[in-house]
Structure 1
């Protein structure tokens, strides 16, 4: 067996597994001639941008959520197409997957199939070369731990309350080490549970999809006040800031062109003023998807009016350079969400990040609400030198696996925490 044979793909197979929401998803296994094997999982979002890569699912199984057809696509199409290719050539393999699908949104073989395969290939290549996955992705420049964004109060499509804003986020940037920032967040999270139980009852201490609480709050102010007072009571004021993921597409009424939030119907201009008012009242430094996914102009206007807050595009861009370039021309954002399954391959994800950084946008590597216990997102965030990593509350195994991997990377490899430099 030659050295090239060692890295040559021998087998590719798929498996239907279960994600953190109890829905099926696909796991793809890749094995080389040299016997090196790894898998990649496809996560899934509840709140999705309309331009995301399409998941192939079974309309007649598990309420339309089964992935047996996706598994069949791995065996019938992906395996024959990439068999014999070198796992170290990520670009060539991803390009083959893109051509194999042949659609602009991966709807033929499935974005869930292509991203799970793409991740598996990267993991096998790193393993075969005996290097850490984050180093394989980013090389020697992968030397910083990103600041975590912890979703601790849920609303919108993730909550069971009247909150229209989807996520209320802790941002522990004011610490010297990632481990310190995470433990401080755990303290806040634990205290928040006690406060919620005392105010609203134990029934509201249950956890949402991403580990956050969903107390019976009715306004953005109530949620931010609850978090602010908890942070201050624990002595973390100035060290832990706040952010929100508005996911505004979900509360935008297309008929009236108004945003229905906190019992009001606001025009884009009125919503912009509302956000600026919130930023002046609270230590709010991060705002994701403040307007609907087609309103680049309002993003740009808000971005031009706030100095100490990062305006971030998720549904706006869906990790796709085509939409990113439109936003960069208007200077619509100061940050981008990176979710590889939105676009379907790691190579396309890397290109998106490069262009975002060239356009002076911060990188926020993110999980999805439907996750598995795989910690890949943590290595990806370090490998891409991301400013932030977003992977839910410090609870539930599919979330803590990512945080624990970052703790491991910091401890074993002595990487520096970005902290306030983010």
Structure 2
């Protein structure tokens, strides 16, 4: 055989091979058959954009999008404090595509009247936490979540929880090693003769001498839960995955959350959380005299649409007016007069709520709350003040943090006295979602409900599980935002999706807060258009009287009898 003929045949075989492989590929994937089915289905419709219709038809045969990249970035919130942004990229139809991003602010427990050095240390800690969170997102979490489907929220949150547990154990081991090293160092120096008297050391008080001791023993404040540096990455990534899952599924985030909560059963109706609109921010530092009130909030009635914004001046970071008062009645009388002047009646057209933030008022040397500058009241006395306040101003339908979480006896007393007249809400006791759930019970004092904040290592699955447990025990859920806020409006979708009774977002000013109110308006309009909007229902809880022996530290709300608000 001639060499030239062999070369020609080999060349022809090389040319035929790609066509044969392509034919086999199309045969294996039934492309001609599906193309014929698509054309037959579209023929009666005569679409103007045939290629677009074909693209939509074949898109249902494509593989589900998977996560291909996470990007963490340090950004600033509305107060200029560091915050974490998490971007999600997915492989969609063989292309890498940016799906969404979320921004989550770092949380601070520092009160308004903290010392400058304490505030500076807190800012440094938040900065370090965000930097570490960015590293977690860009390196280990990016690798760990790659190739997972963003719609599989449970699997993603499980992996995030395992990673956080691992980092927490590593921190404990490091602390243990540091303690052992410190003990070893102390043992080496223990042979040094001790000094019997140090200059400047205070002498012990003589027996019988009156000292600055508490007049009555009160439960000490529980130590603040330590926050693992970088834990913000867990909350930010979980929320970003939830938003990516909603985007991939072509549904709003609030509906995606509702489907996760109800095991993919679409709710027939949904209720919007009522906004607690902060109108007054009462300063707790000099020269203001009143300390018992931190915020005065307006609550619209259930029949009223949310579209009633009003502008304010001298705005604080909470988006509301900053004021200072001499007594407790002044801000309430002002609100009453202002409402009367615009034709609204408190208790009928609108209601008020007060954030007391009592945990910031305790003077541990005296064992009493400083409700006014120089005026101190015991926990029992402060319960009597609240009872008198609600009886005098019945349009107040919610008290937030009226007592410290450690004063469980007084929580029980105030619930029995006022539970049928207003909501008694715990916010400080419910800051960390990870500590709230214990053996299918809510580990907080007796109360009407809690304020939940999506912070630190919280995951979307944790929030869904806890709100389901709260619903089962007749607590109401309020979703709140930290003081440092970004313009990310995911919190509103979370509140609607989990069925929160209220949402606490601050005042109707500052862009990062108004953005969330605008999102609430958009969801209200969408649900009303789809005829799936159900009117909210406000019912107080009448707590049963309990014997002294039943009032234990682990009180959980008993099955309540419910009394409705006065008819509108």
TM-score normalised by L of structure 2:
0.64
Distance 2:122 2:322 in 1: 32
| Structure 1 match to 2:306 | 178
* Contact 1:313-1:337 at 8 Å conserved across structures: yes
Displacement of 1:233: 2.0
- What is the root-mean-square deviation in Å for CA atoms of aligned residues? 2.9
* Contact 1:25-1:43 at 8 Å conserved across structures: yes
Matches within 5 A, 1:86-101: 86-101=149-164
Distance 2:443 2:83 in 1: 36
| Structure 2 match to 1:127 | 247
Residues 1:227 and 2:335 are matched in the alignment: yes
Change (3 A) 1:60 1:248: closer
Displacement of 1:419: 4.5
Given candidates 43, 60, 65, the residue that maps to 2:105 is: 43
Given candidates 64, 70, 77, the residue that maps to 1:6 is: 64
CA deviations 1:188-219 (Å, max 9, x no partner) are xx4xx5xxxxxxxxxxx411111111123233
The SS at the match of 2:88 is strand
Change (3 A) 1:32 1:149: same
CA deviations 1:315-342 (Å, max 9, x no partner) are 1122526435598578711111121116
Displacement of 1:40: 1.9
Change (3 A) 1:150 1:176: closer
Distance 2:521 2:508 in 1: 12
Displacement of 1:65: 2.8
The SS at the match of 2:455 is helix
The SS at the match of 1:369 is coil
Distance 1:96 1:21 in 2: 32
Displacement of 1:137: 0.5
Larger RCO: 1 or 2 (CA < 8 Å, sep 6+): 1
Change (3 A) 1:38 1:84: same
Return the index of the structure with the highest Cα Rg. 2
| Structure 1 match to 2:417 | 305
The worse-fitting range, judged by mean Cα deviation, of 279-288 and 84-93 is 84-93
Matches within 5 A, 1:147-166: 147-156=274-283, 161-164=288-291, 165-166=293-294
The worse-fitting range, judged by mean Cα deviation, of 93-102 and 373-382 is 93-102
* Contact 2:283-2:324 at 8 Å conserved across structures: no
| Structure 1 match to 2:430 | 317
| Structure 1 match to 2:90 | 32
| Structure 2 match to 1:260 | 370
| Structure 1 match to 2:489 | 375
| Structure 2 match to 1:399 | 513
Structure 1 unaligned spans of 5+: 50-57, 194-204
* Contact 1:321-1:355 at 8 Å conserved across structures: no
Distance 1:159 1:398 in 2: 28
| Structure 2 match to 1:348 | 462
The SS at the match of 1:210 is coil
Change (3 A) 1:310 1:319: farther
Distance 2:443 2:517 in 1: 35
Distance 1:157 1:65 in 2: 26
| Structure 2 match to 1:284 | 396
| Structure 2 match to 1:168 | 296
Displacement of 1:412: 2.6
CA deviations 1:161-180 (Å, max 9, x no partner) are 4442221110112534333x
| Structure 2 match to 1:77 | 140
Displacement of 1:48: 6.4
Change (3 A) 1:388 1:418: farther
Structure 2 unaligned spans of 5+: 1-58, 112-119, 170-224, 260-265, 540-568
Displacement of 1:298: 2.0
Change (3 A) 1:286 1:10: same
* Contact 1:40-1:118 at 8 Å conserved across structures: no
| Structure 2 match to 1:251 | 361
Distance 1:19 1:163 in 2: 30
* Contact 1:301-1:332 at 8 Å conserved across structures: no
Change (3 A) 1:63 1:92: closer
Distance 1:372 1:362 in 2: 26
Distance 1:61 1:216 in 2: 26
| Structure 2 match to 1:271 | 382
Displacement of 1:62: 6.4
Change (3 A) 1:330 1:348: closer
Distance 2:286 2:490 in 1: 26
TM-score normalised by L of structure 1:
0.85
CA deviations 1:364-404 (Å, max 9, x no partner) are 11122111111111111111111111111111111111111
Higher helix share: 1
The SS at the match of 1:20 is coil
Distance 1:9 1:153 in 2: 44
* Contact 1:20-1:370 at 8 Å conserved across structures: yes
Residues 1:116 and 2:236 are matched in the alignment: yes
